[in-house]
Structure 1
Amino acid sequence: MSSAPPFLTRFLLRLRQWADAGWSNTVVLGWGLLQGCIFPGLADLFFLPLALARPERAYRLALVATAGTVIGSILLYWVGAEALSVLEGPLARFFNYSPEAFTEYRARLAEYGAWAILASTLSPLSTKLTSIASGAIGVPFAAFAAALLAGRLTRTLALAWLVRNGGAQAVARWTGASADNTRDRGSPPS
């Protein structure tokens, strides 16, 4: 007998059905891209439930989710880089920022900006804002991309490891849904 509400069991079974439908990679990549550059929300919204539904696919889904969010964040970096001329021009004059202040700020970001990117990818902080700011202020692209990739890979691969090493089994035990439940019973209950 499971301690989970019945709707969670039905939801997990539905996720397994969706994961078996063959489009989970596309959904995870698409959501990662959209979340990386447009929509607010958790980057792991589709990756984590689909990985829990089919833990044997967790690492592949982690890599796909990482690719989507990295592409989206790189797009925002370039948007921010294009906005730099506006920041240095009329906006800087409006707020009384001198060219020297921008040069000093850029030097600090060149030194420490990658750490800010890494922190934003590992935390619930918005990577979108950090990506735009990095491009706008002039964090070197190589440092930005390396920190972004390292942070996203660390996060998604750690979650995939948790799914594969007990997380999926704990969820299945809690909901009372065995790993082969959808194959044995056909479609999940409605």
Structure 2
Amino acid sequence: MLRRLYIWTFQLAGRKSAQWWLAFIAFVESSVFLIPADVLFVPMALARPDRAWRYALIATVASVLGGVAGWYIGYHAYEQLAKPVLEFYGKLDTFDRLRGSASADAILLMLITSGLAHLPPIKVVTILSGAAGINIWLFIVSAVLARGARFFFLAWLLQRYGEPIRHFIEKRLGLIAGTVAVILILLFFAVKYFHS
């Protein structure tokens, strides 16, 4: 089922309504959907490099709005909406562990790492941010920076290098972004350790 969903999302890139689908996928990815918006964003930017920055803006704005929706789900409707979504994706145990042990600083760090590298999945962190009562404005600023950095960096790569960079993005960008996320996490804990 996951593979079919991936293929369906990828095929949306060729449609006239692709920009609307990009906004929709980026929105729901940040609150309830499994497939990242990159699956749609990359082929769209390759097909129309002159619109790569526009697509990055659409994806960033929609992703942040979806994140705000996830925050509201976590803050106002945890039992009714968030819990069933997290159970569906098998993330409820992870979520409960994070909710019980993560500080506000750690949650904001996770928002940045998930925005850059999907570590942990963005929907888990947006819901967690709401459930933990993270300040909504701080949440929005962090989401804009993290999601914007990811989409605009992808736009720059695709516009500059075109099709040859696609294999790199699909195979190695996640690893590089994950490495950056791990470095950020280690720096966070090192700073916390030395300040205590």
State whether TM-score is above 0.5.
Answer: yes
The structure whose Rg is larger is: 1
**Residue 61 of structure 1 corresponds to which residue in structure 2?**
55
Q: Pick the aligned partner of 2:148 from 148, 153, 156.
A: 153
- Aligned AA (1:79): I
- Deviation of residue 105 (structure 1)? 6.4
- Greater Cα offset, 162-171 or 136-145: 162-171
Counterparts of 1:170 and 1:158, CA distance in 2: 12
Q: How does 1:1-190 map to 2 (within 5 A)?
A: 18=14, 21=16, 23-83=17-77, 108-109=103-104, 111-125=105-119, 126-168=121-163
Counterparts of 2:57 and 2:117, CA distance in 1: 18
- For the Cα contact (< 8 Å) 1:84–1:137, is it kept in 2? no
- Deviation of residue 167 (structure 1)? 2.7
Counterparts of 2:43 and 2:54, CA distance in 1: 14
- Size of the aligned set, in residue pairs, is 138
- Aligned AA (2:28): L
CA distance 1:136–1:164, shift in 2 (3 Å): same
Q: Counterpart of 1:159 in 2: which secondary structure? A: helix
Counterparts of 1:61 and 1:141, CA distance in 2: 25
CA distance 1:143–1:170, shift in 2 (3 Å): closer
Q: Counterpart of 2:36 in 1: which secondary structure? A: coil
Structure 2: state its 5+ residue gaps: 1-9, 81-98, 167-196
Q: Judging by fraction of residues, say which structure has more helix.
A: 2
Q: Counterpart of 1:45 in 2: which secondary structure? A: helix
- Aligned AA (1:80): G
What root-mean-square deviation, in Å, do the aligned CA atoms of Structure 1 and Structure 2 show? 2.9
Counterparts of 2:78 and 2:21, CA distance in 1: 33
- Deviation of residue 73 (structure 1)? 1.2
- Deviation of residue 15 (structure 1)? 8.1
- Deviation of residue 46 (structure 1)? 0.9
Q: Tell me the TM-score normalized by structure 1.
A: 0.63
- Aligned AA (2:33): F
Greater relative contact order structure (CA < 8 Å, 6+ sep): 1
What percent identity do the matched residue pairs reach?
Answer: 28
Counterparts of 1:15 and 1:27, CA distance in 2: 7
CA distance 1:170–1:150, shift in 2 (3 Å): closer
- Deviation of residue 84 (structure 1)? 6.6
